[in-house]
Amino acid sequence: TICSYHYLSKVSRVVVASRNYADFASEATFDIKKCDLHRLEEGPPVTAVLTREEGLHYYRTMQTIRRMELKSDQLYKQKIIRGFCHLYDGQEACCVGLEAAINPTDHLITAYRAHGYAYTRGTAVREILAELTGRKGGCAKGKGGSMHMYAHNFYGGNGIVGAQVPLGAGIALACKYFGKDEICLTLYGDGAANQGQIFETYNMAALWKLPCIFICENNRYGMGTSVERAAASTDYYKRGDYIPGIRVDGMDILCVREATKFAAEHCRSGKGPMLMELQTYRYHGHSMSDPGISYRTREEIQEVRSKSDPITLLKDRMVNNSLSSVEELKEIDVEVRKEIEEAAQFATTDPEPPLEELGNHIYKNEPPFEVRGPSQWIKYKSVG
Amino acid sequence: MAAAAGALRRLVRCGPQQGLGRRLQLRSGIHGSAPAAVQVTVRDALNQALDEELERDERVFLLGEEVAQYDGAYKISRGLWKKYGDKRIIDTPISEMGFTGIAVGAAMAGLRPICEFMTFNFSMQAIDQVINSAGKTLYMSAGMVPVPVVFRGPNGASAGVGAQHSQCFAAWYGHCPGLKVVSPWSSEDAKGLLKASVRDDNPVVMLENELMYGVPFEMSEEVQSKDFLVPIGKAKIERQGTHVTLVSHSRSVGHCLEAAAVLVKEGVECEVINLRTIRPMDVESIEASVVKTNHLITVEGGWPQFGVGAEICARIMEGPAFNYLDAPAVRLTGADVPMPYAKILEENCLPQVKDIIFAVKKVLNI
C-alpha cells in the first residue's frame, strides 16, 4: 500500500478527494491524558475523536503559526520588526485547541504573546506580519504593533501583565447581560497568575456567575523567573480557590480541545466561571531580546522539542492512524511556507502609514479636530 | 445666593421629601404660561441624569461600591436599584482595579457602563485600567475597539477628610490623549455633562465634587428636559466682565463668582469662565475673553505644579491672546502640600474668595 501511495501521489496530485475515501480513515479515536481536577467530580473525557478534516485543519493552522513566528524571528533579527516581539512557537496546540472548542461568536482576550490568537481569531498572516513591520496594511494600520492586534470578538493583545483578566470578565459580563449564550476565554500566563487584580476578578466572576473561562498558559517561566521561584503554589488550576479548575496537557491539541469543550459547557450552563491551566512551553525566550538560555538549559528546550512538540504529536497520530500521510502533510508544509513567504513579502514592501494619519483614532464618532504635534506649529488632523 | 437661601428655607418647611427628582416650585410671580424654573441640588441633578439615561438605553448600567442597596455612598444613586434591579445597578466588592477593568471590558463588548469611584482617590488603584485599557485602546486598534465608559465620582478636597482623600485628579487624567475629562460645577453642568458623557462613545472621566452635592441651583425648564445635554469641550461664561478673566472649574467657579460680587462694588467687572471640560479644553473661549479683558487668573483646587492653570497659561502664551495681556497670567491653586486635617490649615490650603480678590487687585495693579 505504501508503494501505491507514492504512485498515486505522482500521477494524480489533483485528485486528492478520491484519495480520502480510498486510502485514509475518516476518523480515529485517541486516548488523551486525564486532567487533574479541582473542585470537580468529573472532568473532560479521556478519549477524543479526531476526523481527517479536523486533523488536516489543525495541522495546517499550527504549522502556519509556527512558520509565521519563525519568520517574525528572522525579520526581527533583520531589524525590520522593532520593539517588543513575544513569540508563540511551541504553544500552538493551545490557541488552535481552544479555537476548535468554541464558536466564532464567543470572545477571547489574551496578553502580549498574541500572534497565534490573532490568527486563529481570523486575522490574515499578511496583516499580522505587516502590523509587526509597522505598515499601513497591518491589522491595526501600524498603530498597535506586536502587542496590540485586534479582530472581531478578539480583544487583543494587551501589554500590561494581568490587566486583560478583569477586561475578560467584563466581556463575560456583557455576554451574560445580552443573554446570547456566548462565553469569554480570558488568558494569562504563569507570571501574571500572581497579579492581585486576577484574584479580584476571580471573586467577582464567581460571585456574579460570569460565563468566563480563566485560562493560565503555564509555560514554566515568567520572563526569566521559573514558576518555582515566583509562586508559593504552582498549582495554577487550583488558585481560583472556589472556582473549579482543571490542569490540561497544553502540548496535546486534543486534550486542549476536549478540556475547553468541557469548560465551555460549564460556563454556558450558567454555573459560573471555570479555570484551566494549560501546561505548555515556549521555544523562544520571553521576547526577542531574551535568548532564553540563561534561566533554562538547551537540553531542556531540546527535550521538549523532541518529545512533546505539538505539531509532531499531531502528525504522528495522524500518520500512524491513517488519517493522513507524511507526503500529504509535507505538501501542506510547502503550501504554508509559500503563504508565509508571500505574507512576508507584503509586510516588507507595504508602505508605512501616512504621517497625516498620526492623529487619527483619538475619539470615536467625533467631528474632525486638531491634535498637537511636538510643537505648537505642528498639528495633525484627527478623525475617528 | 439669596434666592438659594430662600429656597433652602422652603425646602426645610416643606417637610420630608420622597422619591426621585424631588423639586421645589418657585413662585415666578407671573401668572399663566411662564416657564417654571426649579431649584435642584447637584445630587438630584446627577440622580435624574442617571435615571434618564438608564431608562433611555438598556445597555447603560451602573457599577461601584455601595451604589445599589446602600443608595450610593453619597446618595447619588438613590432609588435606582429599587427601580432597575440587580442587572443594571451592581454593588461591587472593594476591588477597584478589578471592577474598573470589568467596566472597561464590558464597554469593549458593547455595553455602556458607568463606573463609580467612591472618590477619585481610589481610582489610583485602577488608574492603569482607565488610561491604558480605556484611554488608549481606540488608538492602538486603529479605530476597531471603542470604549464607551464613564468613570465618575467625587474629586478633590472635601471637608476634614485628610491628605489621602483630598487629591484633585484633573491634571493627571487631563494629561492623557484618548480620554475626555469633564468637571461640573452647577446642577445644570452635572446633569447635562453626565448625560452627554453617557451618550459619548469615548471613555469619559467625570470629576464631581462632594461639597457641591448638596448645593441647590436653579434649573430652567429647558435644562429639566430629558434631552438637555451640555456639550463636552465647551466652556460657559457664567458672568460677563471687562476688566479681568477668571477661569475655573468645579467648586472654585462659585468662589470666583463670590469674588466678582465683592469686586463689582469697587468698580471691577470680572468675567468668570466655567471650564466645564478639562479635556478637550475650550482654549478659544479663554482666548476670546483675554483679548477683551487683557488680564487672566486661573483658579483651581488642585496642586500648582503641572496643573490645569499651568496648561492654560502655556496655551495662552502660544496663541493670539498673549499679545493682549497687560500683565503675566496668574494661577491660584491648592497649596503645594498634602491636605492637612485641622480646619484652619485645610482652609488655607485652597484658594479662598479673599485670595481671588487679592489676585485680581494685584493683576490690575489696584
Give the DSSP per-residue string, B119-162.
SGGGGGGGHHIIIIIIITHHHHTTTS-----EEEEE-S--SS--
In terms of Cα–Cα distance, which of B109, B116, B122 is closest to B63?
B116
Has residue B111 got a pLDDT over 80? yes
Which of B140, B198, B205, B282 has the highest number of chain A CBs within 10 A, making it the mutation to test binding with A? B140
Which chain B residues have a beta carbon less than 8 Å from that of A148? 140-141
Q: What is the pLDDT of residues A354-371, one digit of tens each?
A: 999 999 999 999 999 999
- Mean pLDDT, chain B, rounded, equals 93
Has residue A16 got a pLDDT over 70? no
Question: DSSP letter string over A17-30?
Answer: HHHHHHHS-SEEEE
Q: What is the pLDDT of residues A47-70, one digit of tens each?
A: 999 999 999 999 999 999 999 999
pTM, to two decimals: 0.92
pLDDT for the residue A67:
98
When CB atoms are compared, the residue of A174, A364, A366 closest to B109 is: A174
- Catalytic residue positions of B, numbered: 96, 165
Q: How confident is the model at residue A23 (pLDDT cuts 50, 70, 90)?
A: confident
Contact A148 B141 (CB under 8 A): yes
Helices marked H in chain B — which ranges?
2-13, 42-56, 80-84, 96-108, 127-128, 137-140, 170-174, 187-199, 221-224, 251-263, 283-293, 308-318, 343-347, 353-364
Which chain B residues have a beta carbon less than 8 Å from that of A207? 93
Domains of chain A and any CATH numbers = 27-353 (3.40.50.970), 356-383 (no CATH)
- CA–CA min distance A32, chain B (Å): 35
What angle (nearest 5°) sits at the alpha carbon of residue A259, between those of residues A257 and A262?
110
Using an 8 Å Cβ cutoff, are A95 and A65 in contact? yes
Q: How confident is the model at residue B292 (pLDDT cuts 50, 70, 90)?
A: very high
Letter for the amino acid at A263?
A
Range scoring the smallest mean pLDDT among A7-16, A20-29, B338-347: A7-16
Has residue A129 got a pLDDT over 60? yes
Q: How confident is the model at residue A10 (pLDDT cuts 50, 70, 90)?
A: very low
Task: Tell me which chain B residue has its CA closest to the CA of residue A353.
Answer: B142
Which chain A residues have a beta carbon less than 8 Å from that of B282? none
Using an 8 Å Cβ cutoff, are A365 and B201 in contact? yes
Has residue B27 got a pLDDT over 80? no
User: Roughly what angle, to the nearest 10 degrees, separates helices A92-101 and A310-320?
Assistant: 60
Using an 8 Å Cβ cutoff, are A69 and A272 in contact? no
Using an 8 Å Cβ cutoff, are A93 and A280 in contact? yes
Alpha-carbon span B302 to B202, nearest angstrom: 25
Q: What is the pLDDT of residues A231-270, one digit of tens each?
A: 999 999 999 999 999 999 999 999 999 999 999 999 999 9
B207 pairs with which residues across the strands?
B153
Task: Tell me which chain A residue has its CA closest to the CA of residue B61.
Answer: A177
Task: Tell me which chain B residue has its CA closest to the CA of residue A375.
Answer: B318
User: How far, CA to CA in Å, does B330 sit from each of A18, B235, B238, B350?
Assistant: 85, 19, 20, 15
Range scoring the smallest mean pLDDT among A86-95, A211-220, B35-44, B115-124: B35-44
Alpha-carbon span A26 to A17, nearest angstrom: 12
Which of A121, A158, A167 has the highest number of chain B CBs within 10 A, making it the mutation to test binding with B? A167
Which positions 179-238 of B are in contact with A (Cβ < 8 Å)?
Answer: 180, 201-202
Sheet of strand B204-208, all strands in order from the earlier edge strand to the far edge:
B89-91, B60-64, B112-116, B150-154, B204-208, B180-182, B277-279
DSSP annotation of A271 reads -
- Mean pLDDT, chain A, rounded, equals 95
Question: DSSP letter string over B202-225?
Answer: S-EEEEE-GGGTT-EEEE-HHHHS
When CB atoms are compared, the residue of A165, A208, A361 closest to B139 is: A361
Contact B111 A166 (CB under 8 A): no
Cell numbers 477619585 correspond to B120
Alpha-carbon span B127 to B159, nearest angstrom: 24
Q: How confident is the model at residue B22 (pLDDT cuts 50, 70, 90)?
A: very low
Alpha-carbon span B10 to A381, nearest angstrom: 53
Contact B99 A200 (CB under 8 A): yes
Q: How confident is the model at residue B32 (pLDDT cuts 50, 70, 90)?
A: low
Using an 8 Å Cβ cutoff, are A89 and A115 in contact? no
pLDDT for the residue B25:
43
pLDDT for the residue A22:
63
A vs B, Cβ pairs < 8 A, gives 147
Please give the average per-residue pLDDT across A199-214, as a whole number.
98
Letter for the amino acid at A214?
F
Residues of chain B with pLDDT > 90, as a percent, come to 90
Alpha-carbon span B157 to B341, nearest angstrom: 11
Please give the average per-residue pLDDT across A122-127, as a whole number.
98
Q: Is B86 on the interface with A (CB under 8 A)?
A: no
pLDDT for the residue A56:
98
Has residue A5 got a pLDDT over 60? no
Q: Is B284 on the interface with A (CB under 8 A)?
A: no
Has residue A339 got a pLDDT over 60? yes
In terms of Cα–Cα distance, which of B74, B70, B110 is closest to B92?
B70
Domain range summary for chain B, segments of one domain joined by +: 39-224, 236-364
Which of A364, A371, A379, A382 has the highest number of chain B CBs within 10 A, making it the mutation to test binding with B? A364
Has residue A225 got a pLDDT over 50? yes
pLDDT for the residue B209:
98
Task: Tell me which chain A residue has its CA closest to the CA of residue B180.
Answer: A363
Q: Where does residue A22 rank: exposed (0-12), middle (13-18), buried (19+ CB within 10 A)?
A: exposed
Has residue B29 got a pLDDT over 60? no
Which chain B residues have a beta carbon less than 8 Å from that of A172? 105
Using an 8 Å Cβ cutoff, are A49 and A100 in contact? no
Residues of chain A with pLDDT > 90, as a percent, come to 94
Using an 8 Å Cβ cutoff, are B193 and B276 in contact? yes
Radius of gyration of chain A (CA): 22
Using an 8 Å Cβ cutoff, are B335 and B241 in contact? no
Which chain B residues have a beta carbon less than 8 Å from that of A150? 141, 144-145
Q: C-alpha A82: how far from its chain's center?
A: 21
Contact A201 B141 (CB under 8 A): no
Using an 8 Å Cβ cutoff, are B223 and B52 in contact? no
pLDDT for the residue B186:
98
Contact A177 B140 (CB under 8 A): no
Nine-digit cell string for A164:
486583560
Range scoring the smallest mean pLDDT among A17-26, A311-320, A330-339: A17-26
Which chain B residues have a beta carbon less than 8 Å from that of A197? 95, 97-98, 101
Has residue B36 got a pLDDT over 70? yes
Using an 8 Å Cβ cutoff, are B223 and B191 in contact? yes
Nine-digit cell string for A267:
460556563
Which chain B residues have a beta carbon less than 8 Å from that of A156? 137, 140-141, 145
Q: What is the dihedral of CA A342, A347, A349, A350, to 10 degrees?
A: 120
Task: Tell me which chain B residue has its CA closest to the CA of residue A376.
Answer: B318
pLDDT for the residue B21:
44
| Matching CATH number, B236-364, of 3.40.50.920, 3.90.1150.10, 3.40.50.620, 3.40.50.1000 | 3.40.50.920
Beta strand spans in chain A (E): 27-31, 36-38, 47-51, 107-109, 184-189, 212-218, 221-222, 225-226, 245-249, 274-279, 369-372, 379-382
Contact B108 A155 (CB under 8 A): yes
Q: Where does residue A291 rank: exposed (0-12), middle (13-18), buried (19+ CB within 10 A)?
A: exposed
Which of B57, B60, B133 has the highest number of chain A CBs within 10 A, making it the mutation to test binding with A? B133
- CA–CA min distance A127, chain B (Å): 13
Has residue A101 got a pLDDT over 70? yes
Range scoring the smallest mean pLDDT among A223-227, B23-27, B44-48: B23-27
Using an 8 Å Cβ cutoff, are B202 and A363 in contact? yes
User: Is residue A244 reached through a cis peptide bond, with omega within 30 degrees of 0 on the bond before it?
Assistant: no
Cell numbers 469569554 correspond to A184
When CB atoms are compared, the residue of A141, A166, A369 closest to B105 is: A166
In terms of Cα–Cα distance, which of B193, B258, B219, B231 is closest to B53?
B193
**Are B39-224 and B236-364 the same fold in CATH?**
yes
Q: What is the pLDDT of residues A161-201, one digit of tens each?
A: 999 999 999 999 999 999 999 999 999 999 999 999 999 99
Which of B59, B99, B125, B144 has the highest number of chain A CBs within 10 A, making it the mutation to test binding with A? B144
Alpha-carbon span A155 to A110, nearest angstrom: 8
CATH number for the region B39-224 comes to 3.40.50.970
Task: Tell me which chain B residue has its CA closest to the CA of residue A172.
Answer: B106
When CB atoms are compared, the residue of A140, A167, A173 closest to B133 is: A167
Has residue B8 got a pLDDT over 80? no
- CA–CA min distance A294, chain B (Å): 31
Task: Tell me which chain B residue has its CA closest to the CA of residue A198.
Answer: B98
For residue A15, how many other CB atoms are within 10 A of its CB?
10
Q: What is the pLDDT of residues A263-304, one digit of tens each?
A: 999 999 999 999 999 999 999 999 999 999 999 999 999 999
Nine-digit cell string for A346:
507584503
